[in-house]
Chains A and B, each alone.
Chain A
């Protein structure tokens, strides 16, 4: 049913990865990205792969989910692969035809880049698989809160994201209702050219917008009644605390990073 849609790709669970402090998880993801980009050879990437596999095993996310996250980026991988294959020069020429030639270096770069992109996507999806959108928003607010000193609206942005997340299911349900209502009055939403179908959406979008504004007004009133006055002097019920496990995770990640730098120095292939 349309009501049951999930936002983002959160996969609920109680594993160690799920329970990590979301701020630490964001930090780890950033470190992981740095790790992948600093690896200059396949051995370094291999180390990144080991890290990724360990994280996935701990998180108990099914392998199918990981493969699903790669699917949408296959065209990008192919596109960059082709560019790398034909335009990177160096090494021995393996194949040449007209103005195009494939070199051993080109082949290596193609594979290297493809593997790097795949790892990148898998690693970052692990963050969204194991962290609910609301926790993520919370963590982003706290990470950005030092920027309040330079008038960066960290609280406001987080509040907007929270309200948006809260109202997505409500508005989806409403869209469903309006669509049924318009269909009952003879609106044709399924047939015709793309342009016709786009036009048929207008009688759905207008009531939806009107109602969204009405809801916004109600919500603002209800928030005011509950003493909302922006982020100043606000406390939070749920406190984020980075525990021992979080720091162990950071330490392990740093060790992996160091490993990659060492490999880069020793075996730069």
Chain B
């Protein structure tokens, strides 16, 4: 199977024109990444590591300075591909308040389809489907500003989902939410994953990244780790050296191992940890 998203040796920098001479701030340098159709990839990195910049590469908001980004074989540098790429890859951003356009939930979900020029009956159908998927159908006639953060973010997801994209990129979708909202969003993400949508989740919550099928760690615009979660989080020292954490349970098991207690070093979820400790204590 060919790669769905192909990032080939991409560099990118922001240029600050306000200064004299302009300051060039290189964010990505020679980064390459391949994502297959249907994968659930988490991208980790501390603030300013270039992870959001990379996310905006996936639907031609940011264009590479050198190198190439191919989405389903379409080059993001070719303007003729623009709308096809944006229909294929949708992005959900951090602040739900700033991505909702309309004053009624269902109107907002319909926004993307209206822009593409879909016929009204089909819009209605896709909007209802998208709202059902994120579990917000009964709120379809509400005003967005009266909903909770998690609900608003689900509306934003539905707004992208209505286009029926093959891939949804989420740029720290839970950063501004409370724990309840965060759980709602993770549930939605997992549901989308099970439906076969390719998901790229950018986050700095390790517990969320641990649920992905693959974790990519970026530091200073370069990929330093790219593996399944268990393997990535077992590299405790490397992660700490780039200013990242590991899930709490991993931290716990590692300190237990360090003090001589025999445990596996690839525990990343609470359930696993509970089970391992239970087995250990049973043995006495």
Residues of chain A at the chain B interface (Cβ within 8 Å): 3, 133-134, 162-163, 165-166, 169-170, 173, 214-215, 218-219, 221-229, 233-239
B175: Cβ under 8 A from any A Cβ: no
Closest 4 CB pairs of A and B: A222-B99, A218-B98, A226-B112, A237-B110
Q: What CA separation (Å) do A134 and B141 show in the bound complex?
A: 13
Identify whether the interface residues of A are mostly helix, strand, loop, or mixed.
Answer: helix
In the complex, the chain B residue whose C-beta lies closest to that of A230 is B115
Contact yes or no, A233 B117, CB < 8 A: yes
Contact (Cβ within 8 A) B99 A218: yes
B114 touches A219 (CB 8 A): no
Majority SS of interface residues in chain B? helix
A135 to chain B, nearest CB (A): 10
Q: Are the C-beta atoms of B123 and A237 separated by less than 8 Å?
A: yes
Interface residues of B in 190-204 (CB under 8 A from A): none
Contact B115 A237 (CB under 8 A): no
Number of interface residues of B (CB under 8 A): 41
In the complex, the answer to whether A235 meets B120 with C-beta atoms within 8 Å is: yes
Q: How far is the CA of A222 from the CA of B155 in the complex (A)?
A: 13
Which one of A218, A219, A225, A235 has the greatest number of beta carbons of chain B within 10 Å? A225
Q: A162-B103, A224-B61, A225-B91 are in contact. List 4 more A-B contacts (CB 8 A).
A: A226-B159, A227-B86, A235-B120, A236-B114
Inter-chain contact A235/B103, CB cutoff 8 Å = no
Q: Find out whether the CB atom of A235 lies under 8 angstroms from the CB atom of B119.
A: yes
Give complex CA distance A219, B48 in Å. 21
Which residue of chain B is the closest to A133 with respect to CB atoms? B103
Whether A134 and B93, one on each chain, are in contact in the complex, defined by CB atoms closer than 8 angstroms, is no
Judge whether B107 is part of the interface by a CB distance below 8 angstroms: yes
222-254 of chain B: CB within 8 A of chain A = none
Contact for A165 among B103, B106, B127, CB less than 8 A: B103
Are B97 and A215 in contact (CB-based, < 8 A)?
A: yes
Residues of chain A lying within 8 A (CB to CB) of residue B91: 222, 225
Given A170-B145, A226-B90, A227-B87, are A219 and B98 neighbors across the interface (CB < 8 Å)? yes
Checking A219, A233, A234, A238 against B101 with a beta-carbon cut-off of 8 angstroms, the contacting residue is: A219
Q: Which residues of A contact B99 (CB under 8 A)?
A: 218-219, 222
Q: Is B118 an interface residue (CB 8 A)?
A: yes
- 8 A-B residue pairings within 8 Å (CB atoms): A134-B103, A222-B91, A223-B101, A226-B115, A229-B83, A236-B114, A237-B107, A237-B114
Which residues of B lie under 8 Å from residue A170 when comparing CB positions? 97, 145
Q: Does B23 contact A (CB under 8 A)?
A: no
Assembly CA distance A224 to B120 (angstroms)? 21
Residue of B nearest to A217 (CB): B98
**Contact flags (1/0) for B84-102 with A, using CB distance below 8 Å?**
0011001101010111111
Q: Which of A133, A162, A218, A227 contacts B115 (CB 8 A)?
A: A227
B61 adjacent to A227 (CB under 8 Å): no
How many whole Å from B129's CB to the nearest CB in chain A?
13
> Which chain A residues border B144 with CB–CB below 8 Å?
166
A237 and B120 contact, CB distance less than 8 A: yes
B-chain residues with CB within 8 Å of residue A162 when the two chains form the complex: 101-103
> Which residues of A have CB within 8 Å of B159?
226
Q: A215-B98, A226-B86 are in contact. Are A234 and B107 (CB under 8 A)?
A: no
Decide: B124 and A225 in contact? CB cutoff 8 A. Answer: no
If A222-B99, A225-B61 touch, does A234 touch B115 (CB 8 Å cutoff)?
yes
A-chain residues with CB within 8 Å of residue B59 when the two chains form the complex: 225
Give complex CA distance A235, B115 in Å. Answer: 7
**How near does chain B come to A245, taking the closest CB pair, in angstroms?**
21
Interface residues of B in 112-135 (CB under 8 A from A): 112-120, 123-124, 127
A221 and B102 contact, CB distance less than 8 A: no
A236 proximity list for chain B (CB < 8 A): 114, 120
Among residues of A, the one whose C-beta sits closest to the C-beta of B144 is A166
**B160 beta carbon closer than 8 Å to chain A:** yes
On chain A, the residues within 8 Å of B206 by CB distance are none
Tell me the complex Cα distance, A222–B173, Å: 13
Q: Is the CB of B95 within 8 A of A218?
A: yes
Q: Is the CB of B120 within 8 A of A163?
A: no
Q: Of A169, A218, A225, A234, which contacts B114 at CB under 8 A?
A: A234
Residues of B within 8 A of A215 (CB): 95, 97-98
B77 interface hit (Cβ, 8 Å): no
